[in-house]
A = this chain, B = another copy of it.
Amino acid sequence: MIDATLPRMRYAMVGGGHGAFIGAVHRHAIALDGLAELAAGALSATPEKALASGRALGLADAGNHASWQALLEAELKRPAEERVDAVVIVTPTDSHFPIAHAFADAGFNVVCDKPLVHTGAQAEALVETVSARGTVFGVTYNYTGYPMVRQAREMVRSGALGAIRKVVVEYNQGWLATALEATGNKQAGWRTDPARSGIAGALGDIGSHAENLVSAVTGLAIEELVADLGALVPGRALDDDASILLRFAGGARGVLVASQINAGLENDLRLRVSGEDGTLEWRQEEPNRLVHHRRDGPMQILTRASPWLGESARRAGRIPPGHPEGFIEAFANVYRGVFADIRARRNGVAADPLDADYPTVADGARGVRFIECAVASSAGHRWLRFP
């Protein structure tokens, strides 16, 4: 909370300079609770742009770097206690691995955007490094920061729905319904470019959020899947539409849809989880509500901050019921978790898991394997075991 008597931390950002959407979101999210401030950066892969962006954001020259390598070098020259508390990586996916690995290997706490890296091998290497260094590594699967997602997680995990039988998750957008990348749009450009996005398009960009949402809420492990990826806008190199059937350990079934060619849709992420005793439904575009269909009673609509929520959901809010919180607040909750974990480790204590509540490098790695498996299934036009 903004009122906490916590010393303000300092962070560095890699990427996210002028014109980048997601960098500003990270900065708003970090600012919201006043937990940390931007102290250094290498804000673009283009040196001049990096420096200009840094100046625009008020970075002092000492912290404003032309490249992530320069940032790393400069930080390492500083006494350990003066280094930034965390490095936030918001570049296109192709550079996640070298940057994240270098900083983690040098002992920095890292927050990295999703999808984590391009290959399962990279992901495994990163997990090992983080484990070896004992640092904090958060992945901004930000949707798990929504209070009502945490409420869903708590209800599912505590058995409020009985055994889970069916999960349907959809993440549909419309912004790539035309060949936007051909118009010079920066966001569309790198997301449809295999060189920068890897083997997957919509599947990697938003399907990975969907996979993580299912995993976070249900804890179910995917055992097998069959995927159908399509590049439905002519001329596109990567998938812009993905549909996947899932089988989970224990027998539950699932469907995952991720598509960026649903013309007119905005950011329609929705989850439905059914168990023996009830069904939960949540939609990102109305995030303060969680619909609970019950087998043995009327449908209930749970609202953010109401007194009958579980502890994890209640901790994730700032203001009373009926006062909507949104995307930035949810994003900020991921950062709250990361900073709580950094603080706890620094103090040599185990963090309260309800405070240090954020997606980790292991979640990111599983997401990368999911992408690889789905791409292979689609290419082979058949069911595949999930490794």
Contact residues of A with B, CB < 8 Å?
A: 1-3, 5, 8, 18, 21, 24-25, 27-28, 31-34, 55-58, 161-162, 165-166, 168, 170, 172-174, 177-178, 226, 228, 230, 232, 241, 243, 245, 247, 251-255, 257, 259, 261-268, 272, 274-279, 284-288, 292-295, 297-303, 306, 308, 318-329, 381-383
A293 contact from B33, B265, B318, Cβ within 8 A? B265
A32 contact from B28, B58, B252, B322, Cβ within 8 A? B28
Q: In the complex the two chains form, is B264's CB within 8 Å of A279's CB?
A: yes
Please list the 10 inter-chain residue pairs (A to B) with the smallest Cβ-Cβ separation, ordered nearest first: A266-B322, A264-B293, A267-B322, A324-B326, A326-B326, A263-B295, A323-B327, A298-B300, A262-B274, A266-B321
| Complex CA distance for A371 and B121, rounded to whole angstroms | 42
- Measured between beta carbons, the chain B residues less than 8 angstroms from A57 are 3, 5
| Complex CA distance for A161 and B262, rounded to whole angstroms | 11
A253 contact from B58, B178, B228, B266, Cβ within 8 A? B228
Q: In the complex the two chains form, is A32's CB within 8 Å of B262's CB?
A: no
- Measured between beta carbons, the chain B residues less than 8 angstroms from A58 are 5, 8
| Complex CA distance for A285 and B304, rounded to whole angstroms | 11
Q: In the complex the two chains form, is B245's CB within 8 Å of A226's CB?
A: yes
Q: In the complex the two chains form, is A308's CB within 8 Å of B318's CB?
A: no
| Complex CA distance for A253 and B58, rounded to whole angstroms | 48
- Measured between beta carbons, the chain B residues less than 8 angstroms from A268 are 322
With both chains docked as a complex, state the minimum distance between the C-beta of A274 and any C-beta of chain B, in angstroms: 4
Can you name 12 extra interface pairs (CB under 8 A) apart from A177-B276, A324-B327?
A: A2-B31, A3-B27, A5-B55, A24-B318, A28-B32, A31-B31, A166-B241, A173-B322, A226-B228, A226-B383, A259-B274, A267-B322
Q: In the complex the two chains form, is B295's CB within 8 Å of A276's CB?
A: no
- Measured between beta carbons, the chain B residues less than 8 angstroms from A230 are 251, 253
Q: In the complex the two chains form, is A253's CB within 8 Å of B263's CB?
A: no
With both chains docked as a complex, state the minimum distance between the C-beta of A50 and any C-beta of chain B, in angstroms: 14
- Measured between beta carbons, the chain B residues less than 8 angstroms from A253 are 228, 230, 232, 241, 243
- Measured between beta carbons, the chain B residues less than 8 angstroms from A295 are 174, 177-178, 263-264
With both chains docked as a complex, state the minimum distance between the C-beta of A124 and any C-beta of chain B, in angstroms: 29
Most B CB contacts (10 A, CB to CB) among A56, A266, A288, A306 go to A266
A168-B166 contact in complex given A266-B322, A323-B267, A326-B329, C-beta closer than 8 Å = no
- Measured between beta carbons, the chain B residues less than 8 angstroms from A255 are 243, 255, 257
With both chains docked as a complex, state the minimum distance between the C-beta of A88 and any C-beta of chain B, in angstroms: 13
| Complex CA distance for A276 and B323, rounded to whole angstroms | 23
With both chains docked as a complex, state the minimum distance between the C-beta of A66 and any C-beta of chain B, in angstroms: 19
| Complex CA distance for A262 and B255, rounded to whole angstroms | 14
- Measured between beta carbons, the chain B residues less than 8 angstroms from A308 are 297-298
Q: In the complex the two chains form, is B297's CB within 8 Å of A298's CB?
A: no
Q: In the complex the two chains form, is B173's CB within 8 Å of A170's CB?
A: no
Q: In the complex the two chains form, is B300's CB within 8 Å of A300's CB?
A: yes
Q: In the complex the two chains form, is B232's CB within 8 Å of A245's CB?
A: no
- Measured between beta carbons, the chain B residues less than 8 angstroms from A383 are 226, 381-382
With both chains docked as a complex, state the minimum distance between the C-beta of A263 and any C-beta of chain B, in angstroms: 4
| Complex CA distance for A174 and B252, rounded to whole angstroms | 16
| Complex CA distance for A381 and B301, rounded to whole angstroms | 38
| Complex CA distance for A223 and B302, rounded to whole angstroms | 38
Q: In the complex the two chains form, is B166's CB within 8 Å of A259's CB?
A: yes
Q: In the complex the two chains form, is A232's CB within 8 Å of B24's CB?
A: no
- Measured between beta carbons, the chain B residues less than 8 angstroms from A326 are 288, 323-326, 329
Q: In the complex the two chains form, is B321's CB within 8 Å of A327's CB?
A: no
- Measured between beta carbons, the chain B residues less than 8 angstroms from A284 are 322, 324
| Complex CA distance for A293 and B261, rounded to whole angstroms | 12
| Complex CA distance for A174 and B323, rounded to whole angstroms | 13
